[in-house]
Structure 1
Amino acid sequence: MARITAEQEVENLSGLSTNPEKDIFVVRENGTTCLMAEFAAKFIVPYDVWASNYVDADISLTRGAEVKGRCGHDESELQVFWVDRAYALKMLFVKVTPSGARRGGADSGWMWAEAAARFPHPDKLPGRLTRASSAPQESHNTSKGPEATWRLSKVQFVYDSSEKTHFKDAVSPGKHTANSHHLSALVTPAGKSYECQAQQTISLASSDLQKTVTMILSAVHIQPFDIISDFVFSEEHKCPVDEREQLEETLPLILGLILGLVIVRRGGNEDGLFTSA
């Protein structure tokens, strides 16, 4: 089982985001950033009410949330709590070798310690999170091998249906846990960050009569491993949806430019023929 011996700090920098729905979380180890995550998260939670079979609660991750985390050689965790811990989001990231094996045990990173101490805040905060330069530098929290990747391996969402803001007239209110199963999301080459503006959904099986909770992520930029320096994302690996949308946006411009060049060249040739005649 992996042990975390280094001193770790966690920061909620959501106030720096111009998007009111997006949160920014940073985990630092021994004064160096080892995990960064920017994303907007929403949960669609079905629950039973007296008046009908069930209705959906729409729960968004809010600013000012309590955040915890840890960084490991090939496993990293992010934990977020909000509304007086009525809601908790826990995410496990793993780094995978080409053979698919990890150095840690199968569940060595899936430990959620509620008694973890609060982390001190660093004296200086960055103006914003940035992209890393292309210059080679020594990286922190690295174990990259040839063609290694990292991914989001597990998600757990804990919610309390007795919380009155989102749940109205719930039958048998109480705490429930929703977990992912066989999850392999946000797959990214080691040494890169994952970026995706498009919405992505993850289904979670709830302990509340086997209901399905839907987690919706958007405006995602995450890097749980191989961070070069403080508050700096490495080169981004874009999701296929973003790449396709970017191609759809640029393709008409490229075709228009080519068509314009063809028209100009054809017009020049016709002028030359007319002059020579």
Structure 2
Amino acid sequence: MKRVPLFALFLACLASSAIAQTETAKGVVYDDANGNGARDPGERGVSGVLVSNGMDIVKTDRGGNYQVPVSEDAIVFVIKPRGWMNPVGPGDSVPRFYHIHKPGGSPEMRHAGVPPTGPLPASIDFPLRRQKEGKRFKVLCMGDTQTRNVDEVQFLANGLLAELHGTDAVFGIVLGDNVFDDLSVFAPLVETMGGLGIPWRHVPGNHDHNHDAPTAAATDDTFERFFGPSHYSFNYGPVHFIVLNNIRHNVGKDGYHGGLGERQLAFLRNDLAHVSPGQLVVLLMHIPVMSLDDTRAL
């Protein structure tokens, strides 16, 4: 019998394990004509829409169908095309454009992350609704709201948000540090900002992460539970927006450093490959781009 080196067997086991942990997410991006969030008879798929697993990007076929590989810790999301809108959650302002796949859930932490999601659904469908988007539009941008508790959320509501009621902005963006380390404040913050009546996009900051996370991958699990993927992109009018998570916590130590990592860089390359020449691209992140470990890779 031919002998196989132990090292080769070890590599083969690693490869087979990686293959076993990879599944294929599939579904349909469809025109939710009645806005009920469910695909009803007669609601057609939307072709040419981009769908991602946070790194790879695929395009829906003529029937709105897509397939994309996923690991056991993945978020599948649709990249909102121009002229379409994502639904927002009931009672809040967060666009629902994603599906979290984390069968085992998040590790135990002070602030709960994602509960076990169970097996991958047979079909992960994403509703879109048509909307008019002009070439010129207004967006609200704020950063470092850093609400420490419910009282400070109320200060935000009675102050800045009260002044913004009746705004003609089409959506808002918080550029990180939505809260100040107490991630239980995400819930009242989301509910309060929903009162403004526009969708809000949230960028992760260093005070929005799980500081007691046992692994780097788990540091943004609570953020993901409330807001979805920590990096993604979307279109509005003629503009392409890219949200990036450029905070890297030093697991087991104090502090953090700036960086994107290969997965986000791969997503960025794949995403920009679908951007038209001359199209305006806006990067949304928490700390300055020149503070990143991998600035040159950009």
- Whether the TM-score (by the shorter chain) exceeds 0.5 is no
- Higher relative contact order structure (alpha carbons within 8 Å, sequence separation ≥ 6): 1
Q: TM-score, normalised by structure 2?
A: 0.27
User: TM-score of the superposition, structure 1-length normalised?
Assistant: 0.29
Task: Point out the structure with the larger helix share.
Answer: 2
Greater CA radius of gyration, 1 or 2?
A: 1
